[in-house]
Amino acid sequence: MKLKIGVFGAHRGMSMIKMLLAYPEAELVAVCDKHVPSLQKVKERAEQNNMQVALYESFDDFIKHDMDAVVLANYATEHATFAVRCLDLGLHVLSECLPCETMAQAVDLIEAVERSGKVYAYAENCCYMPWAFEMWQKYKEGTLGEVTYAECEYLHDCTHVWPAITYGDPNHWRNHLYPTFYCTHSLGPIITSTGKRPVQVVGFECPRRERGLEEMGIVFGPGIEMVTLDNGAVVKSVHGHLTREDANRWNFQIYCQNGMMESARFPEQKDFLMYTEGKEVCKGTWEKYDPAIEFGREYYLKIADRKAHGGADFFAPYFFIEKILGRPDGQWAIDVYQAVDMGICGILAWRSAVNGNIPVAVPDLRDPAQRDAYRNDHACTTAAVAGDQLMPCTTFPHEPIPMEKFKEVEQMYLDSLK
């Protein structure tokens, strides 16, 4: 019997929707989005595949649909609250980034997974890009030994697409973003590859792009986390609006006792590079190649959208489904504990940054005894969630963004639709 899966969020969820419409071991049965034109696109795509999919504008109606699992591709600050609702109704959950907005939500999410007994998987696509997944597998083999240091950067200057992703809405979550929040694109591949747990973080904010502030009303700058892992290794994580072309670039390096691995920094390089030290110190061998796709290869070659994060959007739902079905490939699904580990590094790094870059301990929320300290910890930059624990979006001063600026951005968005 096919798994019946629904998707909440038709825009970000479109790559998952395309996959599920074509995947033979699952059935896309429902999609929910408040944006009606996005639902229309789903309807058209389903008809092209000779399928019918129930469409909902209300989550309360959507959640009543007969289904086994839900993909959460809604706003990045709202995943945990909807995940808890789904889990409490007995549904498996695949959550897009980020896992949670607050420490209280992190506790709620973990406990919802534990009491439900359902599968929760985290759809951090950077962990499934071919080079990152190769790092994960190679590290697991153990040849290189334990990690000693790592660098990870996910640079994405969104200034040029800001109208398309915020619509000029002053209340859009991206307009209340802080520098270290969206950290799992950079930290994710290091945490999953090494299997190590973060134990301490120090956060920093770099100066923002003044052009971004002036033209789009973007108040925050790039974020940096310096993370200590549970074996003493240190990770430097960099992400956000840094100026370069092309605007979306990444690089990952993992240094180990017996060698190192890295992803290509420039397009002309091979995607994956690995150095293994030989019998003599500082002398060894390099391997440089584009990783082959082995897991789910038959389906990947037929249905993966290679434009969707390099094909990585195929693997998050694939491994999620495999885990639900109890198959070996399900081992590569990112569970709730690793998801929360990497996500709360950004939350706690921001506390470090606004308090003079002080070190902040990262709790192990696998341990129930450590959870009580965070049950009422709602500190974030969303006023409706934080209440009297509201935090600033930037450590740098700025004048309030006038409504006229948001209207200008809204007009840019509307003009792009013509």
Alpha carbons 119 and 70: distance in angstroms, whole number: 11
**Phi, psi for residue 202 in degrees, rounded to 5:** -125, 130
Contacts of 81 (CB under 8 A, 6+ apart): 105, 108
Contacts of 78 (CB under 8 A, 6+ apart): 101, 173
307 CA to centre of own chain: 17
**Can you give the pLDDT at residue 33?**
96
Structure tokens at 119: 């599968």
Alpha carbons 122 and 56: distance in angstroms, whole number: 24
For residues 364 and 346, the answer to whether their CB atoms sit within 8 Å is: no
**Can you give the pLDDT at residue 308?**
67
For residues 46 and 52, the answer to whether their CB atoms sit within 8 Å is: yes
Q: Among residues 351, 381, 380, which one has the least CA distance to residue 363?
A: 351
Sheet holding 26-32, edge to edge: 54-56, 26-32, 3-8, 69-72, 92-95, 120-122
Beta pairing class for 223-229 and 234-240: antiparallel
Counts of helices then strands in the chain (DSSP H, E):
14, 15
For residues 97 and 356, the answer to whether their CB atoms sit within 8 Å is: no
For residues 193 and 132, the answer to whether their CB atoms sit within 8 Å is: yes
* pLDDT per residue of the chain (418 residues) written in tens, 0 to 9: 789 999 999 999 999 999 999 898 899 999 999 989 999 999 999 999 899 999 999 999 999 999 999 999 999 999 999 999 999 999 999 999 999 999 999 999 999 999 999 999 999 999 999 899 999 999 999 999 999 999 999 998 899 999 999 999 999 999 999 999 999 999 999 999 999 999 999 999 999 999 999 999 999 999 999 999 999 999 999 999 888 777 677 899 999 999 999 998 877 788 999 999 999 998 999 999 999 888 877 777 777 666 667 778 899 999 999 999 999 999 999 999 999 999 999 999 999 999 999 999 999 999 999 999 999 999 999 999 999 999 999 999 999 999 999 999 999 999 998 8
